[in-house]
Amino acid sequence: MKKLILYLIALLFSYSGYCQKLTSPDNQLVLTFSLLPNGTPTYQLDYKGQPIIRNSKMGFALLHVDRPLAEGFRITDTQFTSSDTTWEPVWGEEKEIRDNHREMLVCLQQEKTDWQVNIRFRLFNDGLGFRYEFPVQPNLRHFRIQNELTEFSLTGDHKTFWIPADYDTNEFPITTSSLSGIAALIDEVRKEPLAAKSPAPNLAVQTPLMMKSANGIYVNIHEAALINYPAMHLNVNDQTFQLSAHLTPDKTGNGAFMQTGSATPWRTIMVSDDARDILASNLIVNLNEPCKIKDTSWIKPTKYMGVWWEYFTGGGSTWSYTDYSDIIIGQTDYTKLKPHGRHGANTQHVKEYIDFAAKHGFDAVLVEGWNEGWEDNHAYIKERIYSFTKPYPDFDAKELQQYAAAKGVKIIMHHETTSSVVNYEHQMHDAFRFMVDHGYDAVKTGYVGGIIPRSEHHDSQWMVNHYNYVTETAADYKIMVNSHEAVRPTGIHRTWPNWIAQESARGTEFESFKGIAPDHTTILPFTRLVGGPMDYTPGIFQGDLSVYGSNPAKGSSTLVKQLALYVTMYSPLQMAADLIENYDRFPDAFQFIKDVAVDWDNTWILEAEPGDYITIARKSKGKNEWFVGGITDENPRESIIDFSFLPKGKKYIATIYADGKDADWRTNPQSYLISSKTISQKTKLKQRLAPSGGVAIRIREIE
């Protein structure tokens, strides 16, 4: 009885005395922080008067410390601030971004240890961000986090767009099911060839995680500013609908090595009853630090082509120069080896791409397979790992430098590390110096395979530090980075805008392997792209690869949907991925790819429903020119495009690239119709999209 009374007093005390509220600027979101009677920190998030996240625990399990950093806390201070500012990104979907939030800093001290942890909450109109901060303090300096105990207690069995948790890859198809439906499907999805590498041992999924409640509330959970910390996956309790953090461990089971004077990444929860708000949100970038590069004039949004797709079509050309596999980099003289004759990155062929790119106004050409080492691209043997300074004998770097410069085209460097990360770091300065000396200003990095030699996971703290180190070092050389197979982005491109794009999801290359589901690109903007731009590499006009001989793959969309992706899949780095011959076959459709901008003043999300459709309008940076892209999943649909985003009182000419009447991604993907129409701000256009089809529109002012 005495115990019960004490408990009730403690409960009352904790909820009256230790309960703090913060509201968003528009008062629609309410964050409640409280301490449980045992001193465990908790938070709750309400939206328009209903709970979105039920009371959820916060804290850490530490390694070699019995007492978790998750209980026995008291509040030593609480501070409230607010801020409403705007800032200009170096590139982006908007030329100005508003950061309007209210903040609460709760300072906690654990009674038995005296250890201090602060929790900083920022509430925006479109969601919540919070992070843990570890101030410099007398009794704690270095510590190891075994796992973070942050919970996200959802209110029901939401519809969820998920990929399985995996410490090494995110190149999965995206599955749509209820939270309770994940368990029955996850093993099958993990078997997906080329995908699962190091699955989390429990029922867990990756972020950004997009969900929709039964009453139509959209909730998106991710993280911002992943720096010196492992990436977070989410355990799923499919009985209670409680999600909980699961940090990518290192090889010995540690989550994170910490030092006081630091903070965790922000945990982010976006909320809205309108799916368009999720796509329009700037919450993740707002939670990242401002740009750290002083002179950003060399960072340029880029449209490029590449000696690339031919390696995937089954048409015969390869990255490698010879058939020999016993090559030792630095010792084998390639000029003495007989080439197999199918090497893609030869000087003559690269020149064809440079000519074509120059003729059609592209900024750059990516060249893969230019460097020694592709004969053993599993890098099983250390001495065979690629050189990033030695071109193959038939790739004349100096001659191509002059040729490209004369044509006003850049060549994009390629560093496939096959995850030999230590070796890459050893070569990195020489490699970047080689780039500067040969006129390159952008590199595509790659992390195929397991991390060598430490077998650390791609999403671990150690690797997170590597990707950030590469980006920061590249900035010293004025080099832009497009990383493939790296940890998924968390808005760091605000701080380091030379990190111009990433892959980190299933991209177009899968059109040539296992295929891409028609709804994939209607989901990615709600999941992967929430963290930052994706090098999705659209523009495949010839999706049926059987025409090249050996690859039976069929495309996943109509040709017009490929055009629309340049608008719906935001990236300042966009590729026209198909072969020259296919653009020559469809010059009128190719015109859209030539015209479309890669940097924007404004963006309007016109229609959106994850898994079903997306329609977006954008205004080109510094130009009176607009583009609209609309896509649908496997179902045809009628899009109603409302042009009220255009300035009033003027007439415009819209060039409309539409699916042909008989277009269908399975039977007739290349059927399209191009027409022109005079429109104004008042126009509402009804446009039919074919199954897995799209619409792409270019709009210019009539003088």
Q: Is the Cβ of residue 42 or residue 482 nearer to ligand NOJ in the bound state?
A: 482
151 binds, among ligand NOJ, Ca ion, none (CB under 5 to 8 A by kind): none
Helix and strand totals (H; E) in the chain: 12, 36
Instruction: Give the shortest CB-279-to-ligand NOJ separation in angstroms.
Output: 25
Q: Is the Cβ of residue 371 or residue 632 nearer to ligand NOJ in the bound state?
A: 371
Q: Is the Cβ of residue 33 or residue 172 nearer to Ca ion in the bound state?
A: 172
Judge contact between 683 and 643, C-beta under 8 A. yes
What is the C-alpha separation between 474 and 581, in angstroms, rounded? 34
Residue of minimal Cβ distance to Ca ion: 484
Q: Is the Cβ of residue 150 or residue 537 nearer to ligand NOJ in the bound state?
A: 537
659 binds, among ligand NOJ, Ca ion, none (CB under 5 to 8 A by kind): none
Judge contact between 645 and 604, C-beta under 8 A. yes
Q: Is the Cβ of residue 509 or residue 625 nearer to ligand NOJ in the bound state?
A: 509
Which position among 509, 511, 607, 625 bears the catalytic label?
509
59 binds, among ligand NOJ, Ca ion, none (CB under 5 to 8 A by kind): none
Instruction: Give the shortest CB-419-to-ligand NOJ separation in angstroms.
Output: 11
What tokens appear for 161 in the block? 């767009």
Positive or negative torsion for Cα 304, 305, 306, 310: positive
Total number of residues that touch Ca ion (CB under 5 A): 1
Instruction: Give the shortest CB-537-to-ligand NOJ separation in angstroms.
Output: 7
**Among the residue ranges 303-311, 466-474, 484-492, 554-562, the one whose residues contact Ca ion (CB under 5 A):** 484-492
Judge contact between 453 and 417, C-beta under 8 A. no
Estimate to the nearest angstrom the gap between the alpha carbon of 354 and the chain centroid. Answer: 29
What is the C-alpha separation between 353 and 629, in angstroms, rounded? 27
Instruction: Give the shortest CB-454-to-ligand NOJ separation in angstroms.
Output: 21
Reduced to 3 states (helix: H, G, I; strand: E, B; else coil), residue 307 is strand
Burial of 57 (0-12, 13-18, 19+ CB in 10 A): middle
Q: What share of the chain is helix, strand, coil (3-state, %, to 5)?
A: 20, 35, 45
Cα-based distances in Å from 378 to 367, 375, 382, 444:
20, 9, 10, 18
172 binds, among Ca ion, ligand NOJ, none (CB under 5 to 8 A by kind): none
368 binds, among ligand NOJ, Ca ion, none (CB under 5 to 8 A by kind): ligand NOJ
446 binds, among ligand NOJ, Ca ion, none (CB under 5 to 8 A by kind): ligand NOJ
416 binds, among ligand NOJ, Ca ion, none (CB under 5 to 8 A by kind): ligand NOJ
Q: Is the Cβ of residue 300 or residue 484 nearer to Ca ion in the bound state?
A: 484
Instruction: Give the shortest CB-446-to-Ca ion separation in angstroms.
Output: 7
**Among the residue ranges 55-63, 78-86, 408-416, 481-489, the one whose residues contact Ca ion (CB under 5 A):** 481-489
Q: In 3D, which of 373, 398, 368 has the Cα closest to residue 305?
A: 368
Q: Is the Cβ of residue 171 or residue 599 nearer to ligand NOJ in the bound state?
A: 171
Judge contact between 113 and 132, C-beta under 8 A. no
Instruction: Give the shortest CB-377-to-Ca ion separation in angstroms.
Output: 13
618 binds, among ligand NOJ, Ca ion, none (CB under 5 to 8 A by kind): none
Residues that bind ligand NOJ (CB under 6 A): 308, 368, 416, 446, 448, 484, 503, 509
Q: Is the Cβ of residue 140 or residue 576 nearer to ligand NOJ in the bound state?
A: 576
Reduced to 3 states (helix: H, G, I; strand: E, B; else coil), residue 189 is helix
Strands 256-259 and 573-575: unpaired
Could you give the strand order of the β-sheet that contains 652-659, starting from the edge strand earlier in sequence?
600-609, 613-620, 625-632, 694-701, 652-659, 672-679
Strands 480-484 and 442-446: parallel
Instruction: Give the shortest CB-14-to-ligand NOJ separation in angstroms.
Output: 51
Residues 6 or more apart in contact with residue 17 via CB below 8 angstroms:
none
Instruction: Give the shortest CB-503-to-ligand NOJ separation in angstroms.
Output: 5
Residue of minimal Cβ distance to ligand NOJ: 416
Residues 6 or more apart in contact with residue 240 via CB below 8 angstroms:
153
What tokens appear for 538 in the block? 């659209």
Active site residue 509: yes
Cα-based distances in Å from 75 to 46, 55, 122:
22, 18, 18
Which residues are the active-site residues?
509
Q: Which residues bind Ca ion (CB under 5 A)?
A: 484
